[in-house]
Structure 1
């Protein structure tokens, strides 16, 4: 899983193996071996990769499908938003972002459309239920 995630993250940033290797201060062939699953990085390199791509290590290793670091400042900012605003933000993010990942792989267009429809329906249903509960 690590090899696939590393390669997808690198490609999504339009980075060459050489550029990533330069940032990590390792050889490009080491990046190639990581992406082929022939070698695993040490803890320090994993942390550098997680920081560089702004994902958590568990995501890199395939132990979670949530790439967002637990201490992300975005998470802390979002705690005070109302859920309807969070859903609106998520809808906008899904609409505008190319190369989204879902269940460890790239999300195809039909899946994206179903996800958007479900998010909008969920928001509409919650609004109606909330209105009915206020009466």
Structure 2
């Protein structure tokens, strides 16, 4: 699980393996071995990685959220909005600026996101090209 999450976090943050290796103070081959599942980082390195990405070590190790495996894989395929909606509906441990969200705050974000999705759908309909039927 660690290897999948490291690769996922690196890619969604648009970093190279060398970027992350430099940030946490290791060699690129060492970091590559983490993403390939060949080696595991020591405790200090794991904490540096978690701190950099602003996630918990439990998340990196696959111990957070019951459906997190599916969410990580789904994000790799571009379903970030679906994942956010799922998390807002189901997770008890979401934070904003490192402060846990209350039930009311989660509901507010969910309603806002649903409104935003509908707005984007309407904008897309307005800007869709009209097919020329005169061919």
TM-score interval for Structure 1 and Structure 2 normalised by the shorter chain: 0.5 to 0.7
Over aligned residues, Cα RMSD in angstroms? 3.1
Superposed CA offset, 1:54-73 (max 9, x none):
1000000001137x9x7x66
Query: SS at 2:39's partner residue?
Result: coil
Tell me what 1:11 maps to: 11
Runs of 4+ in 1 over 2 A off after TM superposition: 72-79, 90-96
**Count of matched residue pairs:** 92
Tell me what 1:52 maps to: 52
1:74-89 matched pairs, under 5 angstroms? 74-76=97-99, 78-79=101-102, 83=104, 85-89=105-109
Unpaired runs of 5+ residues, structure 2, are 69-90, 118-135
Q: Give the TM-score, by structure 2 length.
A: 0.57
Would the alpha carbon gap of residues 6 and 74 (structure 1) be closer, same or farther in structure 2, given more than 3 Å must change? Answer: same
Query: SS at 1:40's partner residue?
Result: coil
Would the alpha carbon gap of residues 37 and 74 (structure 1) be closer, same or farther in structure 2, given more than 3 Å must change? Answer: same
